[in-house]
Amino acid sequence: MNHTCQHICQAISWMHSTNQSTFQALKKGTQNITDFLHSVKARADELALLGAPVDDEDLTDRILDELDDDYEELVCTVQARDNPITFDELHEKLMSFDASL
């Protein structure tokens, strides 16, 4: 393998590990729900482009883990489902719930 190919492979590997770490480190903090969901989805999309897609259940778990106690009722409802929730459905439920707070 020539040096250019090696550098490209190393760069892709580094980007993958950096994005994976960034995804795991995502925090809601003081972000509103829209901004937080956007940042989580953007990181998941970046990982998918790098060939390391995030499973829908992992995406949901990452989001739910970062929600504060105000969302406890919604978190319990989502976690009690028999079928995994899609990102779009979770987004819709969180937006509706957030509007009612």
DSSP 16-39: HHHHHHHHHH---TT--HHHHHHH
Segments making up each domain of the chain, as ranges: 3-100
The amino acid sitting at 26 is L
pLDDT digits (tens, 9 = 90+) for 24-45: 555 566 778 888 898 888 888 8
Alpha-carbon gap, residue 43 to 13, rounded angstroms = 16
Q: What pTM, to 2 d.p., does this model score?
A: 0.69
Q: Is residue 39 classed exposed, middle or buried when 0-12, 13-18 and 19+ CB atoms within 10 A define those classes?
A: middle
- Residue written as token pair 């976690």: 79
Give the pLDDT confidence score for residue 90 in this predicted structure: 93
